[in-house]
């Protein structure tokens, strides 16, 4: 039998394979809240404009409200034969209220309907992600404040470079998350236009008020071009791009947690809450939460790549290819949400080993740059000459198998006779970090100020936008 939604053109139903490839209800049922919200805004506008009678609009709106209750309570039966969330809801509406349901689709198409639903879903999810990113920032800033003076090794090329503080290291991720949230806010602002009313592709001859539906759904304005309205998926791509960068940041942090928790580093410990054991090795404590955050970045970045490839060859306007925007977008943004929650939990849970951090901070002659800087400041030596002298002193320390601070004054003077015992004031790791007072540097006084600044900013945001 023909599909009752467009049966006038078709004499028979689809082949089973066609139904398999065409149906999207398994995943687009996630849009039910947005679909019902869009339909209720649309029917209210139709009544106000005199396009349908007020009594029909009231009946439709009440019917949609009842369907929302059914879905929320798990009593709604989704049908694959009806393809998608739009037809499932409209069919159920017809069952419950009768002929009036047929007026709901006046002056709209599934093309503008799904574009509206997707924008609403992405917008709602971006708001959730922003709140979660802020929560992770708060957790990081709180821990940074608590460990503003805890010395640890700073790395380049994963080799000991210069001492930093644990608080300073954590605040680097607060900055990254701040940029992530900026991209989320920017994507949300740009996508906040309403496609509803663009109909299939050309607009409609009915005297609709698109500004009314835009306002009802929390959009800033209606979209300005009907062709672009139904064919645009930039909003999803931008959201996925922002999510991909954020996932990359989380993956980098997860990788550091994996490294820090190994016995070979032993800088940080996670409790049973965020680790697992081995089925064969009883001593193992595996940082599986961090590893999974690291891995999930791949599926998030993959969703962005997948949708770019779907869209790259499509002429205007809508094509069924665009049905492939949903699964990847849903999965990626929900995966990022899970990763943010997991990282927040791990940050709150992690315990730094301060002794191990301090010991590691002094390894690899990490205060060599401090020595070179001292030569420049106190002996007025050109930095390149100071670099050369320091390299010779490091070689001497390596030959003696001691740290720089363990060399005697006589040994230092054998390389550069003008060195005085004041040099020892800069060779300790704690003295090193205290000296890094330039703006953005690792000095504990800086770290405390930056942590407090972020915490105050986040609290202001929370008061301004309570969840």
- Return all residues near 61 (Cβ < 8 A) that are at least 6 apart: 40, 43, 44
User: Which is catalytic among the residues 12, 73, 157, 205?
Assistant: 157
- Cβ of 384: how many Cβ atoms within 10 Å? 10
DSSP calls for 242-311? HHHHHHHHHHHHHHHHHHHTSTTT--EE--GGG-B--SS-TT--B-HHHHHHHHHHHHHHHHHHHHHHHH
Is the bond preceding 432 in cis, omega lying within 30 degrees of 0?
Answer: no
Q: How far apart are CA 141 and CA 459, in angstroms?
A: 12
Q: How far apart are CA 33 and CA 147, in angstroms?
A: 44
- Quote the strand ranges of 71-178, DSSP E: 151-156, 159-165
From the CA atom positions of the chain, what is the Rg in Å? Answer: 30
User: Which is catalytic among the residues 2, 79, 271, 278?
Assistant: 278
Q: How far apart are CA 274 and CA 386, in angstroms?
A: 47
DSSP calls for 317-351? S--GGGGGHHHHHHHHHHHHHHHHHHHHHHHHH-E
The length of the chain in residues reads 467
Is the bond preceding 317 in cis, omega lying within 30 degrees of 0?
Answer: yes
Dihedral pair phi/psi, residue 260, rounded to 5°:
-60, -30
| Bridge pairing between strands 221-222 and 193-194 | parallel
Would you call 86 a catalytic residue per the annotation? no
Q: How far apart are CA 387 and CA 406, in angstroms?
A: 20
| Cβ pair 344, 136 in contact under 8 A | yes
Q: How far apart are CA 164 and CA 256, in angstroms?
A: 15
* DSSP three-state, residue 50: coil
| Cβ pair 402, 363 in contact under 8 A | no
Dihedral pair phi/psi, residue 181, rounded to 5°:
-65, -35
Nearest 5 degrees, angle CA 127-CA 110-CA 57? Answer: 85
Would you call 157 a catalytic residue per the annotation? yes
Q: How far apart are CA 41 and CA 91, in angstroms?
A: 19
Q: How far apart are CA 460 and CA 325, in angstroms?
A: 36
* DSSP three-state, residue 183: helix
Q: What DSSP designation does 77 have?
A: P
Which of the residues are catalytic?
157, 278
């Amino acid at each position: 039998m023909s599909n009752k939604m467009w049966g006038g053109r078709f004499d028979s139903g689809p082949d089973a394979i066609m139904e398999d490839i065409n149906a999207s209800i398994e995943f687009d049922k996630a849009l039910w809240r947005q679909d019902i919200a869009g339909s209720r805004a649309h029917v209210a506008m139709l009544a106000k404009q005199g396009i349908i009678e007020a009594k029909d609009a009231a009946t439709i709106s009440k019917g949609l409200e009842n369907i929302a209750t059914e879905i929320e309570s798990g009593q709604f039966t989704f049908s694959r034969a009806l393809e998608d969330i739009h037809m499932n809801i409209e069919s159920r509406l017809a069952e419950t209220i009768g002929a009036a349901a047929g007026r709901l689709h006046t002056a709209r198409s599934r093309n503008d309907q799904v574009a509206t639903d997707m924008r609403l879903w992405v917008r709602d999810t971006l708001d959730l992600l922003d709140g979660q990113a802020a929560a992770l920032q708060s957790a990081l800033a709180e821990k940074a404040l608590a460990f503003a003076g805890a010395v640890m090794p700073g790395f380049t090329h994963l080799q000991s470079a210069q001492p930093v503080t644990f608080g300073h290291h954590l605040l680097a991720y607060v900055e990254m998350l701040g940029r992530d949230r900026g991209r989320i806010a920017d994507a949300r602002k740009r996508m906040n236009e309403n496609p509803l009313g663009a109909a299939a592709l050309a607009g409609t001859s009915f005297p609709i008020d698109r500004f009314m539906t835009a306002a009802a759904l929390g959009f800033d304005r209606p979209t300005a071009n009907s062709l672009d309205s139904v064919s645009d998926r930039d909003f999803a791509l931008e959201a996925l791009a922002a999510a991909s960068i954020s996932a990359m940041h989380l993956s980098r942090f997860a990788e550091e947690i994996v490294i820090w928790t190994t016995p070979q580093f032993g800088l940080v410990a996670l409790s049973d809450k965020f680790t697992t054991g081995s089925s064969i090795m009883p001593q193992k404590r595996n940082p599986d939460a961090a590893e999974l955050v690291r891995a999930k970045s791949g599926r998030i970045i993959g969703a962005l790549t997948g949708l770019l490839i779907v869209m790259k060859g499509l002429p205007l306007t809508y094509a069924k290819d665009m049905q492939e925007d949903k699964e990847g977008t849903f999965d990626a943004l929900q995966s990022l949400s899970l990763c943010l929650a997991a990282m927040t939990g791990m940050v709150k849970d992690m315990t730094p080993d301060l002794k191990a951090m301090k010991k590691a901070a002094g390894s690899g002659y990490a205060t060599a740059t401090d020595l070179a800087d001292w030569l420049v400041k106190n002996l007025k030596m050109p930095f390149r000459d100071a670099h050369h002298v320091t390299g010779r002193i490091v070689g001497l320390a390596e030959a003696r198998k001691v740290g720089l601070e363990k060399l005697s004054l006589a040994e230092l003077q054998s390389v550069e006779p003008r060195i005085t015992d004041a040099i020892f004031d800069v060779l300790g790791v704690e003295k090193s970090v205290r000296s890094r007072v330039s703006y953005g540097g690792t000095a504990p006084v800086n770290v405390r100020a930056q942590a407090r600044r972020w915490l105050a900013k986040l609290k202001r945001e929370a008061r301004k936008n309570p969840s």
